[in-house]
Amino acid sequence: MGEQPEREPSENRPADNAVGSQPRFWEAQLEAARRGSLAWGLAAFFIGYGGYYLFGLVLTAVQPGRSGFDPAAPPNTGPLLLLAFAPNILLGLVPAVFSWWRGRGLRADFGIVPKRRDFKVGVLCGLAALIGSLLLSLVITAISGPPPETDLSRLMQGERTFWLFLFALFAFLGAPLTEELLMRGALWGALEHYRIPRYAILILTTMIFALIHQEVWRTPVLFVGGLAIGAARMITGRVATSMIAHATNNFLPALLLFAVAR
């Protein structure tokens, strides 16, 4: 009788691992293997956030309100609402440029095109982020009082126009796209390249996600929400999932702005 073909080692057989000791992580591992190296992700992250920060400083320096601006009688603030989000665009634009230049494109590098499973996982994680954030916000408010007023909230006072509607639309769809490309795309992919453990990546990217918003009162709230959003990315290995989770988390605040902008 002929010799039986030698079986491949178990680590080389996806079907065995898919039902083996770590089935929860096999999907993300397959995505990482297909993606290849994102060593350039660190450069994309630092350049993207650096541009965001510098752009924000420039807008802060030139915006009205530093001398003689009365929040009770603001000027035409509609365009300023959208301008407040302009630096945010750089967060996603820089990783996208790096992906086209050094990588294999957004679909291959980040998994930006959602699959059916991404919607299920993303919505569930987004709801967990929303509920956790709301509960923690209530606790913090009960202990330390309401959050302090920000420049952005002052700009929104009295604004009931189409501009506010566009602002809410960007908060719902635009910010999840740009922020996830930077945090759970470029930075997460770079840390994966350097073989950082997945849970360490989840905690580290969530901490940075909370801190880059530069809102002290909301930092714990953003951390709790960011954990659930990051979990979506960790489960599937695709940024599309965390984008859906992020948009789900932002849905209720955006909906309230939609109602105000009627």
Distance CA 226, CA 206 (A): 5
Tell me which residue of 150, 230, 190 sits closest to 35, measured CA to CA. 190
- CA 136, 231, 104, 113 dihedral sign is negative
Domain ranges within the chain, ordered by starting residue? 33-64+73-260
Euclidean distance between the first and the last CA atom of the chain, given in angstroms as a whole number: 80
Task: Using CB atoms within 10 Å of the CB of residue 48, give its burial: 0 to 12 exposed, 13 to 18 middle, 19+ buried.
Answer: buried
User: What are 186's two structure tokens?
Assistant: 């470029």
What are 140-167's pLDDT values in tens digits?
Answer: 999 988 877 665 555 555 555 677 777 7
Q: So what's the pLDDT on residue 30? A: 84
Q: So what's the pLDDT on residue 205? A: 97
Query: What percent of the chain shows pLDDT beyond 70?
Result: 75
Backbone angles phi, psi at 109, to 5 degrees: -75, -35
What are 59-117's pLDDT values in tens digits?
Answer: 777 665 544 434 344 445 566 666 777 888 999 999 999 999 999 999 999 999 999 99
Q: Can you say how many angstroms the Cα of residue 48 is from the centroid of all Cα atoms in its chain?
A: 13
Q: Above 80 in pLDDT, residue 10?
A: no
Q: Above 70 in pLDDT, residue 15?
A: no
221, 249 contact by CB (below 8 A): no
What are 198-236's pLDDT values in tens digits?
Answer: 999 999 999 999 999 888 888 999 999 999 999 999 999
- Give the 3-state secondary structure of residue 137: helix
For 185-200, the DSSP string reads IIIHHHHHHTT--HHH
